[in-house]
A and B are shown apart, each in its own frame.
Chain A
Amino acid sequence: MNIFITLLLICGLIFFTGGTLGILRFPDFYSRLHPAGKLDTFGLVTTVGALALYIAFVQGLFLTALKIGLIIVFVFITSPTATHAIVDAGVRAGLKPWTKPSSGEDQT
């Protein structure tokens, strides 16, 4: 059981790494939002899910594991909404999406 939880935890950390690298490497504001919204959320769901399984089965605290499940559901709903709010603010502020031909000089 421990091995399975460790593997799931590592998988969650891989998603977090992808999210962070995506935020750093992407050229434009809008393209940076993809990893921030998706990968961070799923990384958190996987990592915290692994911890919930550990608490539920190894330590036997089912009520706490249920509360962690509540956190997972809450974050799973709210994190993309927060990213959508950022995009909404960006579009209203007039941020132009980055286009390939002008890859020489960065617009933003």
Chain B
Amino acid sequence: MEHVFLYAGLYLCLLMFLSLYRAVAGPTILDRLIGTNAIGSKTTSLLILIGLMYHRVEMFVDIALAYAMLNFITVLAASRYFQKRKGLYDENTD
């Protein structure tokens, strides 16, 4: 059963690299926010997988819960911040 978690974790890392491309190459700032949100939700499940691999599940479950909360608050704060900032307007005044 341990191999299943290992391979699932590796596959999640591959998916995170793919969504990292969107975070880097996103035309507008909010596309980068989508990439970050996608990576954040994958990290939460990856944390619990790692917890299972290291047989210390209680510790990693708490970390994953804290990470899920932080991811949510970060996305909210970033979207509220980029709503009014001038930078966003320059990119799509085409």
Binding site for B on A (CB under 8 A): 2, 5-6, 9, 12-13, 16-17, 19-21, 23-24, 29, 32-33, 36, 40-41, 43-44, 47-48, 51, 54-55, 58-59, 61, 64, 67-68, 70-71, 74-75, 78-79, 81-83, 85-86, 88-90, 92-96, 106-108
Contacts and interface: CB of A to CB of B under 8 A. Distances in A.
Q: Is the interface of B mostly helix, strand, loop or mixed?
A: helix
Interface of B: 1, 4, 8, 11-12, 15, 18-19, 21-22, 27-28, 30-31, 33-35, 37-38, 41-42, 44-45, 48-49, 52, 57-58, 61-62, 64-65, 68-69, 71-72, 75-76, 79-80, 82-83, 88-89, 92, 94
Given A41-B41, A48-B44, A86-B37, A24 B65 contact: no
B27 to A, nearest CB: 5
Contacts of A32: 22, 31, 34
Nearest to A58: B1
A59 B56 CA distance: 12
Q: Is the interface of A mostly helix, strand, loop or mixed?
A: helix
Nearest to A16: B15
B37 A75 contact: no
Q: What 5 pairs between A and B have smallest CB-CB spacing?
A: A89-B79, A82-B75, A78-B72, A85-B79, A89-B83
A78 B68 contact: yes
B75 A86 contact: yes
Contact of B79 (A47, A55, A67, A88): A88
B35 to A, nearest CB: 7
Nearest to B20: A20
A36 B38 contact: yes
Contacts of B19: 20, 23-24
Nearest to A22: B38
A64 B61 contact: yes
A12 B38 CA distance: 14
